[in-house]
Structures are given as structure tokens and as C-alpha cells.
Amino acid sequence: MVDVKLSFPPSKEQVDEIIDWMLRNEDFTYGAKQILDDYEEDRLISLIGPTANLLGFCSLRIHRRIVYIDEFVLKKEYQRNGHGKVFMGLLEKSLSKKGIKLFELHAVNASNSFWEKCGFKEMTAVGTVTLYYKQIEFSRADLLGFRKHKISLWHSTLKRGVPVVVYEQELATIKAIPCHFDHQIEIHSSKNLVYKGKVKNCKEVLLDGNFLFI
């Protein structure tokens, strides 16, 4: 069993160690100033071992009920032995208690298999970068007035005069669906048409970033 825990916020000593680690590693996309800014804004979480030794860290932003993971790094000696999945599991457990329902991140091809093993799903991919997301389980109490819906979601532009369907399904549970503000949506409840028009004007759903909660 991996004996680790989260440190939130990290100690000043841990932050100094992260910066020193970064300065000695050319693979980091982050800079020292970004780490200090994240620390000041309470966006930094470290993973520590049984002797409070630093194993890794992540930087994240929270918007409503979505967490955007900007950086997720483990020291090389703790990679490929279960520490990453444990780290992600601890984050999910901790943040779901604060009402978080979705994780989102951009990953390069080299790390895609890791995120997929953690239960993340691909939303879009451009070149070597993939946008992944993972939904935390909803309960019916999460959204007031929830009822069984049939959803049709499609692009605002037509292909040969026909709407391009993005998503179409009857939902018995609340779900997060990748979408855009200008997508068209049609919602049916029982035999009644609840709404038809652009997603951004629909009051029946909760729109948050790239996702539609319904």
C-alpha cells in the first residue's frame, strides 16, 4: 500500500523544494514565478510521503464545480509504481467533498495512457495535445428540479443542410456533456418539449466552461 497524503497548502519548505526541483529539470513547462503565484493563490497541492518527503505536486484552478489541472508532476523515482493514481484518487476524494463534479486537463501524448487509466475521457485532440475530462458521480440532489430528460445536442452549423448531432440520449441520471455555447439543444421531458434553441440561452441546464450539466 502506498503511504502518502496531500499537503494543502504545502509548507514553505515544500514550495522551495518544488522550485529547486524545477530549476534543475528542463522538462518543466512551469516557472518559479508561476509556482509562487499558485502558492499565494492557494492553487498548489503537494503529495508527501511518511516522513513528509516531497513526492510530487499539482497546480489547479477551480471554477464553480470544475477543476482545471494545470500541472501534475511526480518525481521520477515515484513514477510508474502506483503513486500517480493514488495522488489523483486523493485529489478526487478531497475535492468532491467541496462540491467539485468535473476534472479537466490538457495532456501531451506521452501521458495519455496514465490519464485514461485514471478514468479520464478524451474530449478533443489537437496535434500532440489532448483535452481530457472526468466526471465525478452525481446524485439527484445535486440539481434541484431534476427529472428524466431526452437530450439532443447538435452543432449550430449544418453539413449538407443536415444538423451534425453531437449527443443524443435519454438521461435517467445527471450527467456532464461536452458542449459549446453556440451548440443547439432540444430537451424533452416525458411528452413535453422543454426547450429548443442555443445552449447559452437555456435555463434548464447548468453551463460551465466546455460542459453542460443536466
- Each residue's pLDDT tens digit, 154-187: 776 666 667 677 777 776 655 667 777 778 888 8
Q: Are residues 106 and 148 in the same domain?
A: no
Q: Is-contact 155 164, C-beta < 8 A?
A: yes
Q: Is-contact 185 194, C-beta < 8 A?
A: no
- Each residue's pLDDT tens digit, 98-151: 878 889 998 887 788 999 999 998 888 888 888 888 887 655 444 444 456 777
Q: Is-contact 152 168, C-beta < 8 A?
A: yes
Q: Is-contact 208 180, C-beta < 8 A?
A: no
At residue 88, the pLDDT reads 94
Short-list 56, 40, 73, CA closest to 5: 56
Partners of 110 in the beta sheet?
none
Instruction: Show the cell assigned to 20.
Output: 529547486
pLDDT above 70 as % of the chain: 80
Q: Are residues 113 and 14 in the same domain?
A: yes
| CA R_g for the chain | 20
The torsion angles phi and psi of 12, rounded to 5 degrees, stand at -60, -35
Q: Are residues 121 and 185 in the same domain?
A: no
pLDDT top residue among 2 and 22: 22
At residue 137, the pLDDT reads 66
Q: Are residues 178 and 206 in the same domain?
A: yes
Predicted confidence (pLDDT) at residue 86 exceeds the cutoff of 50: yes
Q: Are residues 163 and 145 in the same domain?
A: yes
The torsion angles phi and psi of 111, rounded to 5 degrees, stand at -105, 5
Q: Are residues 125 and 28 in the same domain?
A: yes
Q: Are residues 32 and 125 in the same domain?
A: yes
At residue 125, the pLDDT reads 80
Domain end position, chosen among 97, 115, 135: 135
Structural domain boundaries, residue 159: 140-213
Cis peptide before 163 (omega within 30 of 0): no
Q: Are residues 90 and 159 in the same domain?
A: no
Domain end position, chosen among 118, 135, 152: 135
Q: Are residues 114 and 152 in the same domain?
A: no
Q: Are residues 44 and 118 in the same domain?
A: yes
Q: Number of structural domains, the chain?
A: 2
Q: Are residues 99 and 11 in the same domain?
A: yes
